[in-house]
Chain A
Amino acid sequence: AQSVAQPEDQVNVAEGNPLTVKCTYSVSGNPYLFWYVQYPNRGLQFLLKYITGDNLVKGSYGFEAEFNKSQTSFHLKKPSALVSDSALYFCAVRPAKWGNTGKLIFGQGTTLQVKP
């Protein structure tokens, strides 16, 4: 079965320190991978995606993610965290073979808490 795992319910970091939010996936075939962020009382906002090409992708607000095919991972990173980065982060995957259904499989979400 296709699945996405975010092994940490919460990640705590100090402002200015690097942050990593982990995501691993299990899909058959090539994956399309996405990260979204959700602020309180708001919908999900797109951060970045990996479709093909360079394994390191850069996105909004200084975030980046590295696609690792051998480890089936797509961890979200930022070199220097801000208090305003505190939010709920979702990893999502779509097997390429699903075509244009647009369907996504979401992880359970990771709360990022950045302390001043």
Chain B
Amino acid sequence: EAQVTQNPRYLITVTGKKLTVTCSQNMNHEYMSWYRQDPGLGLRQIYYSMNVEVTDKGDVPEGYKVSRKEKRNFPLILESPSPNQTSLYFCASSSGGARNQPQHFGDGTRLSIL
């Protein structure tokens, strides 16, 4: 089954404790992206990657890092999480020519930073 898998689905942690949210897709998609969803704000892009070793900032990159060492994986790293990063996070992927291809989303990771 074609899917985007995120782990963990839920995480409660404390300020300053480094964490990583993993994202993996099995569709051989070139393009991957991370979004955060906050009430009343829709989804905002954090980082995206056009292919292996190619990443770029989205609209809200502060406090986040990403890497794309393999085509299927695109982890999101919070080096020193803060309470304002409490949110619902989604990873997405699409095939090459991301211009007009729909994105496939994971089921989300709900992070609570205390």
Contact of B103 among A42, A99, A102 (CB under 8 A): A102
B22 to chain A: closest CB distance in Å?
A: 15
Question: A32 to B100, Cβ gap below 8 A?
Answer: yes
Residue B45, interface by CB 8 Å: yes
- Of the listed stretches B60-68, B70-78, B90-98, chain A binds B90-98
Count contacts on B: residues with CB < 8 A to the other chain.
30
- Of the listed stretches A13-21, A45-53, A61-69, A78-86, chain B binds A45-53
B110 to chain A: closest CB distance in Å?
A: 9
A94 to chain B: closest CB distance in Å?
A: 7
Residue A41, interface by CB 8 Å: yes
With A41-B108, A43-B108 known as contacts, the answer to whether A100 contacts B50 (CB < 8 A) is yes
Residues in B11-59 with C-beta less than 8 Å from chain A? 31, 33, 35, 40-45, 48, 50, 56, 58
Question: A102 to B94, Cβ gap below 8 A?
Answer: yes
Question: B90 to A102, Cβ gap below 8 A?
Answer: no
Kindly report which residue of chain B lies nearest to residue A51, judged by CB atoms: B100
Question: A90 to B43, Cβ gap below 8 A?
Answer: yes
With A41-B108, A43-B108, A44-B90 known as contacts, the answer to whether A104 contacts B100 (CB < 8 A) is no
A25 to chain B: closest CB distance in Å?
A: 13
Question: A103 to B45, Cβ gap below 8 A?
Answer: yes
Question: B102 to A42, Cβ gap below 8 A?
Answer: no
Q: Can you spell out 10 A-B residue pairs with CB atoms less than 8 angstroms apart?
A: A4-B42, A36-B105, A43-B107, A43-B108, A51-B100, A94-B99, A102-B33, A102-B101, A103-B58, A108-B42
